[in-house]
Structure 1
Amino acid sequence: MIPEAIARPTLLLVHGAWHGGWCWDKLRAALDVEALQACTVNLPSAGGRSGIAEDVHVIREALAAIDGPVVVVAHSYGGIPVTQAIADAHNVIHVVYLAAFQLDVGESLLGFYGVPTPPESDVTQAVPDDPIAQFYADVPSFEAGKAVERLLPQSTQSFTDAVERAGWRDIPSTYIVCENDQAIPAERQETLAVRSDEIHRLASSHSPFLSMPEDLSVLLSKIALGASS
């Protein structure tokens, strides 16, 4: 039998662009039911002008503060700094890419889409024009509206910085494809998911932590406990 301390790693939840640690609140409550502890971060690229390096620093600080094994869950843009931050992070036993950018060394978010680098004057990217359609298509309208109110401009540099180290090459990884995603279409996610060791799918839009937190928590619990066995 696996000791409880080993069988239940801590989850570190890393949000995507324009968001903050607040977006995980419903999922953290659902993870409590699964008896899994979860921590969050607030990436400085959301609401600031920081690039990947500053986000990586925050994630590594959070990892260093956690005792015992960690499963990192990265959403959307969060997959980029997570990919770099987990390299040489000795307590990370697994990484989960939730509709996330699982990039390789030398790749950037805009490069993945083949988009040219914006002018230097564009230091931040405004919240998308229709964030409910992109991020929260299957989230109850009142809750989606409250989430939109909390979104922040995103640093342009975070979209142009290239990954320097790819921790998923050494750490086991799982990709969760959100099949009804309007922000990162499922076919785009599938091209990234082939880099993971296993793939799961949810019939959700871009933010299952708000639209189906219980389903997501059950899946993450299965992945986390499997990683620690």
Structure 2
Amino acid sequence: MSSENCLGRKHYVLVHGACHGAWCWYKLKPRLESEGHKVTVLNHAASGINMKKIEDVGTFSEYTEPLLQLLDTIPSNEKVVLVSHSLGGMSIAIAMEKFQEKVAVGVFLAAFAPDVEHRPSYVLEKYNERTPSEEWLDTEFCQCGNKTLMFFGPKFLSYKLYQLCPGPLRCDLELAMTLARPSSFFIEHLSKEKNFSKQRYGSVPRVYTVCPEDLGIPLNYQHWMIQNAGFNDVVEINGADHKPMVCKPQELCDSLQQIAAKYQ
């Protein structure tokens, strides 16, 4: 066991969702670091300050490459705590499949959670089927080559993702509207990929963190994914919307430390 684990110091890797970037963790990262942990935040391809354009990212694997490159550098005797948000759940599933031995636990924070019985796209396809077009509000969609692009509009961000954004000025919502970039679910690519395996992805401890006030991925769909994919544990951040790192950062910090301690 590494000295890092012996001392109780964990390495958290925080994985953002669609249209967002590493910037969305700015409240959580210093809280975890103040507790003595190592925290890595990254930008997926065409996200945050990553210079690629989403039009030039052909597959979900290419989109997730920054995370895979990071895990490739982790020493074989160390393990990380992977924390995913929203679409980031698909990213850490790929990482867990490829680097199973380097992941202590995968945390799905109001995140899409694939199973091992269906194609990786299944959980995203079911979400789209259950989401009426009017629920997307001012989100923009367009076809680009072999994928569908999406870009969250101000109304969708305000009413579906950041509705509990704290403070009278709602500064976090303003930050999101300033820094959000177009993204994609990459369903077309994921529908052609092999199922995740029980031996690798399915063998890594997985915890689902429920956000009961989430209007982006509604509570009933979170519960459906939990039943469909199966999890070692389910925890809840009371009063959290789709952005618990914004509206409940201390509660999330405490919860992640408890999870990491259990699965060290």
TM-score, normalised via structure 1 length = 0.88
Q: CA RMSD in A?
A: 2.3
Q: Aligned letter for 1:64? A: D
Within a 5 Å distance, the mapping from 1:160-175 to structure 2 comes to: 160-162=188-190, 164-166=194-196, 167-175=200-208
The one-letter code matched in structure 1 to 2:120 is E
Residues 21-79 of structure 1: CA deviation (Å, up to 9, x unaligned): 11111100111232221101211154513231113322111112334210101100011
Aligned mate of 2:125, from 111, 114, 128? 111
For each residue in 1:150-191, what CA deviation from the matched residue of structure 2 results, as whole angstroms up to 9, or x when unmatched? 1111135x2443253535411000000100001000110011
Output the CA distance in 2 between the equivalents of 1:22 and 1:114. Answer: 27
Secondary structure of the residue aligned to 1:93 is strand
- Corresponding residue for residue 124 of structure 1: 149
The offset of 1:114, in angstroms, is 4.9
Asked if 2 retains the 8 angstrom alpha-carbon contact of 1:17 and 1:154, the reply is yes
Match of 1:161, SS?
A: helix
Aligned match of 1:33: 34
Partner amino acid, structure 2, of 1:85: A
- Which of 196, 219, 222 is matched with 1:186 structurally? 219
Counterpart-to-counterpart distance in 1, 2:177 and 2:143: 27
Task: Report what 1:65 is aligned to.
Answer: 73
- Residue 120 and residue 88 in structure 1: after superposition, are their counterparts in 2 closer, same or farther (change >3 A)? closer
Contact 1:177 1:193 in 2 (8 A): no
CA contact (8 A) 1:70 1:92 kept: yes
Letter in 1 for 2:235: H
- In structure 2, the partner of 1:138 is 164
Equivalent position amino acid for 1:148 in 2: M
1:198 aligns to 2:233 (yes or no) = yes
Distance 2:95 2:195 in 1: 8
Indicate how the Cα distance of structure 1 residues 134 and 114 shifts in structure 2: closer, same or farther if over 3 A, else same.
closer
Contact kept in structure 2, 1:34 and 1:221, CA below 8 Å: no
Matches of 1:96 and 1:65 in 2, distance apart? 21
Q: 1:154 aligns with which of 183, 208, 211?
A: 183
Comparing 104-113 with 168-177, greater Cα deviation is found at 104-113
Unaligned residue ranges in structure 2 (runs of 5+): 48-52, 130-141
- Matched residue type, 2:203: D
Among candidates 247, 251, 257, match of residue 215 of structure 1: 251
| % same residue | 25
Partners of 2:187 and 2:25 in 1: how far apart?
22
Structure 1, unpaired ranges of 5+ = none
Larger radius of gyration: 2
Paired residue total: 225
The Cα of 1:129 is off from its aligned counterpart by 4.7
Taking structure 2 as the reference length, what is the TM-score of the superposition?
0.77
**CA offset at residue 3 of structure 1?**
7.2
**CA-to-aligned-CA distance 1:64-117 (integer Å, 9 cap, x gap):** 2334210101100011121112114121111000000111240315412254xx
CA distance in 2 between counterparts of 1:94 and 1:147 reads: 28
Residues 118-174 of structure 1, C-alpha deviations (whole Å, 9 max, x = no match): 755674212235112111111121222122211111135x24432535354110000
Q: Which secondary structure does the structure 2 equivalent of 1:137 belong to?
A: coil
